Amino acid sequence: MTFRRPAVVCVALSCIACTEQAPPAPPPIPFKSIATVKQLMNALTVPASNVVFGAAGEPPKDDEDWLNVERNALALAESGNLLMLPGRARDDTEWRQQSVALIEAATLAVAAAEAKNAGKLAEAGDAIYAACESCHQHFKPTAPAAAAPAP
């Protein structure tokens, strides 16, 4: 039976030698926040939300208008991600929760625009407004109230 040991050892060593090691993880992506929170709000978040709010009040009339709403809702959702980048995030709990709430509400608007569903778009507009107001109450209580979505 001793003749089997060398064979088992050879097979085991072959398996170990053939096992590939995982490549090292790539270095982290060096995100660099350029705009301040206020600049981001003025350049991206507010204009995109205004398009969604406007469409919730007066539904788009054609495919091109629905596509414009969808694109702005996508930009609004992504602005929530941008708000969480280092240098902008005020903390790791409340700020993140508020940003995620914006992303989730804007994602509802994306889905409504894709479905060309005016009723769902109005609901999404309400959710976006609520997310914005909640964040402003926590982090900018002296800010003027956002334009309410059209009924």
The CATH number of whichever domain residue 55 belongs to comes to: 1.20.120.10
Whole-model pTM: value is 0.76
Q: Give tens-digit pLDDT for 26-71.
A: 887 778 889 999 999 999 999 999 999 999 999 999 999 999 999 9
pLDDT-derived band at 100, boundaries 50, 70, 90: very high
Residue 4 located in a structural domain = no
Q: Give tens-digit pLDDT for 77-93.
A: 999 999 999 888 888 79
Residue 129 located in a structural domain = yes
Residue 79 located in a structural domain = yes
Residue 76 located in a structural domain = yes
Helical axes 63-83 vs 118-139, angle rounded to 10°: 20
Residue 149 located in a structural domain = no
Please state, rounded to an integer, the average pLDDT across all residues of the chain: 86
**By the 8 A CB rule, do 121 and 69 touch?**
yes
- Answer yes or no: is pLDDT of 75 > 70: yes
Token readout for 102 is: 């914006």
Residue 84 located in a structural domain = yes
What's the pLDDT at 45?
Answer: 97
3-state secondary structure the chain: CCCHHHHHHHHHHHHHHHCCCCCCCCCCCCCCCCCCHHHHHHHHHHHHHHHHHHHHHCCCCCHHHHHHHHHHHHHHHHHHHHHCCCCCCCCCCHHHHHHHHHHHHHHHHHHHHHHCCHHHHHHHHHHHHHHHHHHHHHHCCCCCCCCCCCC
Per the structure, the complete domain to which residue 120 belongs is given by 32-139
Residue 24 located in a structural domain = no
